[in-house]
Structure 1
């Protein structure tokens, strides 16, 4: 089973490509193998998420895979920081397509025991695959040239699942999607992107980057006021404020399968009743679950 992913993408080349991206992103690309893959965010000076990406480190380039509509904005941000760096950047959104292959499907050419990023031939074209969990079980994101889509999908086989089905599995599994859940503008620690979270996208041991001072302060003090939770209800609106007794206590993401992932104040307890956009809901679980749960 596989699902088409609305995507955009940047390709960076040049001698300084890894060092340049390393100095902008929250995770440790330099420490990844070649080829390798890391999830990461790009923050503003207040430590708030501007963009989420999965960065592929390859021998000849760095490939940044983003949600649809994100590449142009990230490219504009990155260009502001290119001064003496030997970096060339290309928006390859129109040239590429991406599908997520759900866990359990065999893909010819993919080595299950191999690295997280692999390149192989499929359907007469060269594809880039990354081990990514979008449903609660490790699957893969498969990137290929748009002009080769018919051959790649024919060779891939399996059944196509709509994006809504993938979203439902993702929300049930407690896996945030910064763009689809509307979590841009929040701190990574508040929406499950911290070390130990459902989608770790931070290294506290790498060098400096925009927003790094805020990240270091949060690591030292552990005082983020919000965390990721799952709320349950009937017909909850997407991307709505979460309130309790008329006070805003968080924000909810995409509603799917009777659930929403939400950025909630830490003082809210499991089982507590809240409202999402005025619709009653219940705090079902905290993500990740407490160690003693």
Structure 2
């Protein structure tokens, strides 16, 4: 099974590309092999998420895979920080396509014992494949030229599944999608992006970056007031305020199959009742071991 991913993308080239983007992102791209990939966030000075990406480090470039509509904004931000760096930022959204393969073993030519990022041929097209857990089971994100889309998908075979099914699977697994869940503007620690969370995208041991001081303070004090939880309830609205006794205590992401992910106040306990748009729901705190990858600070 595979699903088309609404995507945008940037390609960074030039001899300073890795050092430059390392100084902007929350995770440690320098520690990744080439080829390799790390999820990361780009923060503002208050530590809030402006963009989320998966950064692929390759021998000749850095490829940033983002949700649809995000590349232009991130490109503008990155270009504002280029001073003496030898780096070029190109928007390659229109020339690339991305799909998620639900099971990594379904990709012809994939080496299950190999690295997390591999390059292979499907039909006459070259595919960049990276291990990504979007459903609770490790799968693959595949990136390829739009001109080769028909050949790649024909060689891939299998059944196309709609995006709402992929969303339902990830919500059930407790895996956030920062953009689709409407969680931009929040702190990474509040929505499962911390080390050991379901989508770890921070290193506390790398060099400085925009918002790093706030991240260090949160690591030292451990005082984020919100965390990622799940709400159980039928027909809960997407991207809505969560209330209890008339007080706003959080916000929901997308809803599917009676479940919603939510950024929720930590003092709310499992089993407590809340409301989302006037509809009752029950709090279900996610286990810290509900993770898309083993906890890491690399």
TM-score bracket for the superposition, by shorter chain length:
over 0.9
1:283 paired to 2:283: yes
1:151 paired to 2:113: no
Q: Report matched runs for 1:82-231 at 5 Å.
A: 82-103=82-103, 105-231=105-231
| Other-structure match for 2:49 | 49
Structure 1 gap ranges (5+):
none
CA deviations on 1:244-269 (whole Å, 9 max, x unpaired) are 00000000000111111000000000
| Other-structure match for 1:21 | 21
SS at match of 2:286: strand
What CA RMSD, in Å, does the superposition of the two structures yield over aligned residues? 1.0
| Cα distance in 2 for residues equivalent to 1:133 and 1:47 | 25
**2:269–2:285 contact (8 Å) kept in structure 1:** no
- Is the alpha carbon distance of 1:214 and 1:149 closer, same or farther for their aligned partners in structure 2, counting shifts above 3 Å? same
CA deviations on 1:207-254 (whole Å, 9 max, x unpaired) are 000000000000000000000000010100000000000000000000
SS at match of 1:63: strand
SS at match of 1:76: helix
CA deviations on 1:24-70 (whole Å, 9 max, x unpaired) are 00000001111100000000000000000000000000000000000
SS at match of 2:65: strand
| Other-structure match for 2:34 | 34
- Count residues in correspondence: 290
Deviation at 1:282, TM superposition (A): 0.5
| Cα distance in 2 for residues equivalent to 1:193 and 1:104 | 23
| Other-structure match for 2:272 | 272
| Cα distance in 1 for residues equivalent to 2:105 and 2:245 | 47
**2:273–2:282 contact (8 Å) kept in structure 1:** yes
- Is the alpha carbon distance of 1:72 and 1:287 closer, same or farther for their aligned partners in structure 2, counting shifts above 3 Å? farther
Structure 2 gap ranges (5+):
291-298
**2:198–2:289 contact (8 Å) kept in structure 1:** no
Deviation at 1:286, TM superposition (A): 2.5
Deviation at 1:276, TM superposition (A): 1.0
